Amino acid sequence: MQSLLRRVFTLGLLSSSLLFGPFVTPRALALSEEEVLRKLAAVPAFVVATEEGAYITNRLVGRSEDTGEESEVALLYVFFNGQDAEEFLTLQRQENPNFNQSALVGWVELSALYQQAQTERDIPLRLLFVPEGEELSAATELNSDFSAGVPLFLPKYKEDGSYVPISVDGEPVVPAFFSQQDLEGILAQQEETQPGIRDRIEIEVLSLEALIREMEESNDENLNLIYLFPDSEAINYIRANRT
């Protein structure tokens, strides 16, 4: 993707006070670990776990790119849609007779998984993000070069490529949606108050993995503006399965 530094600085504005708010110059700080965790905390992640809450992982042996030495890692499949995790669990039960038959799907903040994967341990925890099929198809339709990863959908203006900010709790943010349909719903609402605005906007696709790498490595202070919007279906799944 293009540098967020240059593109967010040239954000265009929409005038509606209901959804889109005024843009202000961001504070000149790069993301700290705490800020990365705060952004990821907005995202529910679904995993397969034991009844006691221990993650069920696959043990794999891999070779280090740095040293060439082989080491064991615990691979955890991470889903962003509860139904996908349920289907994965069903498949494992059917195809693997040694699989824990009492396993269940649970959810946890993505920030917690991220933090655990950063923690040193005898057998490192590695996260494998599993994209939702329909969202991956939508991403490849929008961008034929998008081939892997969990897609995020960001609105931007066609005329200058600047991202479209929205207001969250009175603060301007650059929205990154896990669901294209959710983003289209927001844009449809805006079209009602500003006819023709949708024609000025296109949707960019980038991967969650790439965004996290930028947050880890980049000094671009405008990454502070990114706000992750989880799939509404994920929120509905959590509400429907509350006990």
User: SS in 3 state form for the chain?
Assistant: CCCHHHHHHCCCCCCCCCCCCCCCCCCCCCCCHHHHHHHHCCCEEEEEECCCCCECCEEEEEECCCCCCEEEEEEEEEECCHHHHHHHHHHHHHHCCCCCCCCEEEEEEHHHHHHHHHCCCCCCEEEEEECCHHHHHHHHHHCCCCCCCCEEEEEEECCCCCECCEEECCEEEEEEECCHHHHHHHHHHHHHHCCCCHHHEEEEEEEHHHHHHHHHHCCCHHHHHEEEECCHHHHHHHHHCCC
- Residue keyed to tokens 């927001």: 186
pLDDT value of position 26: 38
Average pLDDT of the chain? Answer: 84
Domain ranges (residues) in the chain: 4-41+132-240, 44-130
Mean local confidence (pLDDT), 93-116? 92
Query: Tens of pLDDT along 21-38?
Result: 333 333 334 588 898 999
Reported confidence tier of residue 243, pLDDT bands at 50, 70, 90: low
pLDDT on residue 60:
86
**pLDDT band at 5; cut points 50, 70, 90:** very low
Percent of the chain with pLDDT over 90: 56
The pLDDT score that the predictor gives to residue 22 is 32
Half-sphere exposure of 162 (CA within 13 A, CB side): 16
The closest of 163, 135, 127, 158 to 1, measured between CA atoms, is 163
| Residue showing tokens 């296109």 | 202
Handedness of CA 41, 42, 47, 51 (dihedral sign): positive
Is-contact 195 15, C-beta < 8 A? no
Residue predicted with more confidence, 129 or 64: 129
Predicted local distance difference test score (pLDDT) of residue 48: 96
Domain 4-41+132-240 has CATH 3.40.1350.100: yes
Percentage of residues of the chain with pLDDT beyond 70: 85
Same fold, 4-41+132-240 and 44-130: yes
Query: Which pLDDT score, from 0 to 100, does residue 168 have?
Result: 86
Residue 126 one-letter amino acid: R
Higher pLDDT, 12 or 151: 151
**Can you tell me which residue has the tokens 């600047």?**
162
Query: Which pair of tokens denotes residue 204?
Result: 């960019």
User: Two tokens at 44?
Assistant: 């529910």
44-130: CATH, from 1.10.1660, 3.30.70, 3.30.1370, 3.40.1350: 3.40.1350
pLDDT digits (tens, 9 = 90+) for 80-103: 999 999 999 999 999 888 888 889
Mean pLDDT score, 169-184: 94
What is d(CA 56, CA 85) in angstroms, rounded to the nearest whole number?
A: 12
* Residues 201 and 164 sit within 8 Å (Cβ to Cβ): yes
